[in-house]
Structure 1
Amino acid sequence: MTAHRTQVLVVGGGQAGLAAGYYLRRAGLDFEILDASTAPGGSWQHSWDTLRLFSPAAHSSLPGRPMPGQPGQEYPDAAHTAAYLADYEKRYDLPVTRPVRVERIEDAGDGGLLARTDSGTWHTRALVMATGTWQRPFVPALPGLHEYTGRQLHTHDYRSASEFTGQRVLVVGGGNSGAQIAADLTATATVRWATLRPPRFLPDEIDGRALFDLATRRVQGDGLRISDLGDIVATPPVRIARDAGRLAARPMFDHLDAEGAVWEDGERWPCDSIVWCTGFRPDLRPLSGLGLRGAAGRVPTDGTRALADPRIHLLGYGDWTGPASATLIGVGRTARTAVEQIADTLHRTGPGQ
Structure 2
Amino acid sequence: MRKLDVVVVGGGQAGLAAGRLLVEAGTRLAVLDAQKTTGDSWRRRYQGLTLFTPREYSALSGMAIPGDPGGYPDKDEFADYLEAYARQFRIPVRSGCTTTSVERDVSGAFRVTGEGFDPIIADAVVIAAGGFRNPIKPSWAATCTIPQFAVDELGDFERLPSGPLLVVGDGASGRDVAALNVPHRPVLISTGRSRKLLPERILGRSLWWWLDVTGLVRAPTGSFLGKRMRAVDPFPNRQRDLDDLTSAGIEIRPRAIGAEGRIVRFADGSTLEPAAIIWAIGYKPDWSFIQVDGALDERGGILHHQGVSPVEGLYFAGLPWQRNRASGLVMGASEDAALVVDHLLRRALSTDTV
Q: Same fold (TM over 0.5)?
A: yes
Match of 1:259 in 2: 262
Indicate if the aligned counterparts of 2:161 and 2:275 stay in contact, CA closer than 8 A.
no
Indicate if the aligned counterparts of 2:163 and 2:186 stay in contact, CA closer than 8 A.
yes
Q: Do the aligned partners of residues 315 and 80 (structure 1) sit closer, same or farther apart at CA in structure 2, a change above 3 Å counting?
A: same
* Counterpart among 281, 302, 311 of residue 284 in structure 2: 281
Tell me, what secondary structure is at the counterpart of 1:310? coil
Q: Do the aligned partners of residues 70 and 166 (structure 1) sit closer, same or farther apart at CA in structure 2, a change above 3 Å counting?
A: farther
Q: Equivalent residues in 2 for 1:100-139 (5 A)?
A: 100-118=97-115, 119-139=117-137
1:63 to 2:61 alignment:
yes
Comparing 150-159 and 79-88, the one that deviates more = 150-159
- What letter corresponds to residue 182 of structure 1 in structure 2? A
* Counterpart among 183, 189, 192 of residue 185 in structure 2: 189
User: In 2, distance between residues paired with 1:153 and 1:181?
Assistant: 12
* Counterpart among 94, 106, 110 of residue 97 in structure 1: 94
- What letter corresponds to residue 200 of structure 2 in structure 1? D
Comparing 93-102 and 10-19, the one that deviates more = 93-102
Q: Do the aligned partners of residues 4 and 199 (structure 1) sit closer, same or farther apart at CA in structure 2, a change above 3 Å counting?
A: same
Match of 1:21 in 2: 19
Indicate if the aligned counterparts of 1:50 and 1:77 stay in contact, CA closer than 8 A.
yes
User: In 1, distance between residues paired with 2:152 and 2:34?
Assistant: 16
Identity of aligned residues (%): 25
What is the Cα deviation at residue 284 of structure 1? Answer: 2.4
- What letter corresponds to residue 116 of structure 1 in structure 2? T
Comparing 40-49 and 205-214, the one that deviates more = 205-214
TM-score, with structure 2 as normaliser: 0.88
Comparing 50-59 and 333-342, the one that deviates more = 50-59
1:181-224, Cα deviation, whole Å (9 max, x unpaired): 11111111111111222332223326444455422244696857
* Counterpart among 263, 268, 287 of residue 271 in structure 2: 268
User: In 2, distance between residues paired with 1:282 and 1:323?
Assistant: 18
- What letter corresponds to residue 82 of structure 1 in structure 2? A
1:67-119, Cα deviation, whole Å (9 max, x unpaired): 11269x92110000000000000000111112111111111211211101222
1:306 to 2:309 alignment:
yes
Gaps of 5+ in 2: none
User: In 1, distance between residues paired with 2:280 and 2:2?
Assistant: 40
Q: Do the aligned partners of residues 153 and 32 (structure 1) sit closer, same or farther apart at CA in structure 2, a change above 3 Å counting?
A: same
Indicate if the aligned counterparts of 2:104 and 2:292 stay in contact, CA closer than 8 A.
no
Match of 1:49 in 2: 47
Tell me, what secondary structure is at the counterpart of 1:156? helix
* Counterpart among 72, 83, 87 of residue 86 in structure 1: 83
User: In 2, distance between residues paired with 1:217 and 1:105?
Assistant: 32
User: In 2, distance between residues paired with 1:183 and 1:11?
Assistant: 35
User: In 1, distance between residues paired with 2:336 and 2:342?
Assistant: 10
Indicate if the aligned counterparts of 1:45 and 1:82 stay in contact, CA closer than 8 A.
yes
Indicate if the aligned counterparts of 1:165 and 1:189 stay in contact, CA closer than 8 A.
no
Q: Equivalent residues in 2 for 1:142-291 (5 A)?
A: 143=140, 145-164=141-160, 166-205=162-201, 207-212=207-212, 213-218=215-220, 223=225, 225-227=228-230, 229=232, 231-235=234-238, 241-242=244-245, 244-247=247-250, 249-288=252-291, 290-291=293-294
Paired positions, count:
346
What is the Cα deviation at residue 263 of structure 1? Answer: 2.5
User: In 2, distance between residues paired with 1:228 and 1:335?
Assistant: 25
User: In 1, distance between residues paired with 2:267 and 2:284?
Assistant: 29
User: In 2, distance between residues paired with 1:7 and 1:289?
Assistant: 18
Tell me, what secondary structure is at the counterpart of 1:28? coil
- What letter corresponds to residue 39 of structure 1 in structure 2? T
TM-score, with structure 1 as normaliser: 0.89
Indicate if the aligned counterparts of 1:105 and 1:116 stay in contact, CA closer than 8 A.
yes
User: In 2, distance between residues paired with 1:42 and 1:15?
Assistant: 12
Q: Do the aligned partners of residues 203 and 248 (structure 1) sit closer, same or farther apart at CA in structure 2, a change above 3 Å counting?
A: farther
1:158-178, Cα deviation, whole Å (9 max, x unpaired): 123444474101100121111
User: In 2, distance between residues paired with 1:36 and 1:54?
Assistant: 25
1:251-295, Cα deviation, whole Å (9 max, x unpaired): 102211112311245321111100000212234232045452224
